[in-house]
Amino acid sequence: MAKKIGVIIGSLRKDSFNRKITKELIRLASDRLEMEIIEIGNLQLYNQDLDENPPKEWVDFREKIKSKDGILIVSPEYNRTIPGVLKNAIDVGSRPYGKNVWDGKPGAVVTSSMSSLGGLAANHHIRQAFVFVNVPLMQQPEAYIGNV
pLDDT tens, position by position, 40-87: 999 999 999 999 999 999 999 999 999 999 999 999 999 999 999 999
- What pLDDT is stored for residue 115 in this prediction? 86
- Which pTM value belongs to this model? 0.94
Q: What is the mean pLDDT of the chain?
A: 96
Identify the three-state secondary structure at position 29: coil
Q: What is the pLDDT of residue 111?
A: 97
86: closest CA among 71, 66, 103? Answer: 71
Topology (CATH) of 3-145: Rossmann fold (3.40.50)
Output the CA–CA distances (angstroms, integers) from residue 101 to 24, 45, 66, 84, 115, in the order listed: 27, 17, 6, 19, 33
For residues 145 and 105, the model is more confident at 105
